[in-house]
Each structure stands twice: as structure tokens, then as C-alpha cells.
């Protein structure tokens, strides 16, 4: 019981911090050059929870085995949390970041995240306010290597007239999935390898098969085109830059020390979920017992 309780507590302490490094195990990215802000460290839980990485990796593997779509969801959560409240590379993550005491409103979220209809100029300008450069923009956009999208996020490129930049065959296939501008259907973000985090997203862009305007314009704009090409040619380079950019993004508006809190349930502030942790610890104990049978 004690071991299980400790394991589960450690999992919730930093699951929201480590998940980018735990989706995939393709290559080891060199993040030694990545600076970290005061209050964070590479070994924050070395004494209090030394097995934290193996615990979280094990849990997430179970989740992704049941539903690979959860990987895309967690990646998107990282983008939203860092921008608003502040298969891929296997890399270390600076630890010690705490959760905020408030949740961002829908309006604030929309103001901080460029929409899928935005062009490269809008995206570059928006992320520049967060000290992210063109390489960061292109690398982080590679998060669209996995996941799905609702038709309404890109049907502006299909109706009433087709975006001439979009490959015709690709457009016709999309029209089959989304027969009207307000269709409620969904489709994958990456047609070449939708369930694998790799560099095929950039190959899509070079073939005019980017789903969103915000995707395809990265290959149209002269400031980002060469970066897209380099990532399409060299997957290792993409992984390295993606890791560095994720680490940079993960340190926006960081709360450390006694600021903020470490939530037992990521979606609820601690004062509102006193019984949640105890309930989940019991669930963890039952899972451990089942594995021993």
C-alpha cells in the first residue's frame, strides 16, 4: 500500500511535466545546450521520487496502448498550458514547474494561440512575443505529426473555392471526408503516418498536402521554407530541434518554489478535489495486485 501510494503520488506530481519525453522512444536528443530557468532542474525529484521517470513511462505506455490518440491530446495540452498560462525524441525535461492557481478562459486561450487559418506571418509574430524564433515555430508545428482535426478547421481551403496551393488529389480526398463547409467529421493531421511521431509532416508540406493554412504556409513563406525542407530531409535534426523548442516552451511563465500548486488532478484545483488522490491511490493498489496474480 505504501509503495503504491508513493508511486501514484509521484506520478501526479510531475506527469504534466514529463509527458513530452515519454510519448515515444525513437532517438536520444541532445539537450545539453538548453538553458533552464531558476527553480527548475534536471534532477528535481532525484531524492523525493527517484523512480519517477519509469513510473510515468509505464503508466503512459498503458494509456497509449489503449488509445494512441491520447498522445496527441497530451501534446496539445502542453502547448495550451505553456502558451496561455505562462514516436519522437526521447529527451530530458527540466523538472520543478508547478501548476497555476487559475485556469485560462476560452478568450485568453484563443488570444494566445494562432488559429489553423493563420499564415506564417501571424504565427511568427505571435510566437516571437514568447521568445520563440522561426526554427522553434517550424519545429513545434511538427506536433501535427499525430492527432486529428475537425473539418471546420480547414474547410475554408476547400469551399467555396479550393485553395490553389493545395494538392488537387489531396483536396478531393478531403472533400470526401468533409462534403460541406460545416461538416462535423474529422480526419488525420498527417496522411503519411498518422499514428507515428516522425518527420513525414514536413514531407506532406513539400507535397502541398498540409492540412491547415498554418501548416502549408510554413513551406510557402521564404522565412521558414528552408527549415521545413531540412526537417523533411533529416529526421534526426527535426527531433533535436523539436526537443530544444519543447524545453524552451515548457519554461514560459514558470511557477516554482511556493508559487502555485502541484495538483492531484490536473483539471481541478487542489481545494476542490480532496478525495480524488485517495481514490486514485486505491485504484493503483488494485492494479498492482492484479499484475501479481
- Residue 285: the pLDDT is 45
- Domain assignment present for residue 156? The answer is no
Domain count, the chain: 1
Q: Is 179 annotated as a binding residue?
A: no
- What is the pLDDT averaged over residues 144-167? 95
Dump pLDDT digits (tens) for 201-220.
999 999 999 999 999 999 99
3-state secondary structure 115-161: CCCCCHHHHHHHHHCCCCCHHHHHHHHHHHHCCEEEHHHCHHHCCCC
Residue 224 predicted with pLDDT over 90? yes
Is residue 273 in a domain? Answer: yes
Residue 22: inside a domain, yes or no?
yes
Q: Looking at residue 102, which CATH number applies to its domain?
A: 1.10.420.10
Average pLDDT of the segment spanning 264-270: 78
Number of other residues whose CB lies within 10 A of the CB of residue 58: 13
What integer pLDDT is reported at residue 163 of this predicted model? 97
Grid-cell match 478535489, residue found: 273
205 lies in some domain: yes
User: Containing domain of residue 196, as a range?
Assistant: 2-147+189-292
Residue 153 lies in a domain: no
| CA 85 – CA 13 distance, rounded (Å) | 18
Q: Examine residue 10 and state whether it is found in any structural domain, yes or no.
A: yes
Cα-to-chain-centroid distance, residue 276 = 25
> How do residues 59-109 score in pLDDT, each as one tens digit?
777 877 777 666 666 665 554 444 444 466 677 777 788 888 877 777 776
Q: How far apart are CA 72 and CA 276, in angstroms?
A: 25
Q: Would the pLDDT of 47 be above 80?
A: yes
Could you tell me which residue, 110 or 164, shows the higher pLDDT?
Answer: 164
Q: Phi/psi zone of residue 253: left (φ > 0), alpha (ψ -120 to 50 degrees), beta?
A: left
What is the C-alpha separation between 265 and 99, in angstroms, rounded? 11
**114 marked as binding residue:** yes
Averaged pLDDT, 186-215 = 96
115, part of any domain: yes
Maximum average pLDDT range among 92-101, 107-116, 238-247:
238-247
pTM of the model: 0.72
Q: Is residue 53 part of a domain?
A: yes
**144 in a known ligand binding site:** yes
- The residues annotated with a catalytic role in the active site are 80
Amino acid at each position: 500500500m505504501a509503495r503504491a501510494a508513493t508511486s501514484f503520488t509521484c506520478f501526479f506530481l510531475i506527469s504534466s511535466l514529463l509527458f513530452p519525453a515519454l510519448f515515444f522512444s525513437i532517438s536520444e536528443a541532445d539537450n545539453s545546450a538548453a538553458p533552464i530557468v531558476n527553480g527548475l532542474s534536471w534532477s528535481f525529484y532525484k531524492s523525493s521520487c527517484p523512480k519517477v521517470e519509469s513510473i510515468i513511462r509505464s503508466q503512459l505506455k498503458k494509456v497509449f496502448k489503449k488509445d494512441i490518440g491520447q498522445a496527441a491530446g497530451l501534446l496539445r495540452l502542453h502547448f495550451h498550458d505553456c502558451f496561455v498560462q505562462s514516436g519522437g525524441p526521447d529527451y530530458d525535461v527540466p523538472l520543478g514547474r508547478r501548476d497555476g492557481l487559475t485556469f485560462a478562459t476560452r478568450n485568453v486561450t484563443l488570444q494566445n494561440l494562432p488559429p489553423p487559418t493563420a499564415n506564417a506571418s501571424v504565427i511568427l509574430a505571435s510566437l516571437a512575443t514568447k521568445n520563440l524564433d522561426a526554427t522553434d515555430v517550424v519545429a513545434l508545428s511538427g506536433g501535427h505529426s499525430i492527432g486529428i482535426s475537425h473539418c471546420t478547421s480547414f474547410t475554408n481551403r476547400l469551399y467555396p473555392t479550393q485553395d490553389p496551393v493545395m494538392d488537387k488529389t489531396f483536396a478531393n480526398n478531403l472533400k470526401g471526408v468533409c462534403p460541406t463547409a460545416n461538416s462535423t467529421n474529422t480526419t488525420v493531421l498527417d496522411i503519411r503516418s498518422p499514428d507515428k511521431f516522425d518527420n513525414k509532416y514536413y514531407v506532406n508540406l513539400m507535397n502541398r498536402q498540409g492540412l491547415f493554412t498554418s501548416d502549408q504556409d510554413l513551406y510557402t513563406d521564404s522565412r521558414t521554407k528552408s527549415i521545413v525542407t531540412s526537417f523533411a530531409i533529416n529526421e534526426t535534426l527535426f527531433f533535436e530541434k523539436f526537443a530544444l523548442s519543447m524545453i524552451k516552451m515548457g519554461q514560459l511563465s514558470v511557477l516554482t518554489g511556493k508559487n502555485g500548486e502541484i495538483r492531484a488532478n490536473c483539471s481541478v484545483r487542489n481545494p476542490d478535489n480532496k478525495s480524488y488522490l485517495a481514490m486514485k491511490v486505491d485504484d493503483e493498489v488494485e492494479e498492482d495486485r492484479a499484475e501479481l496474480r
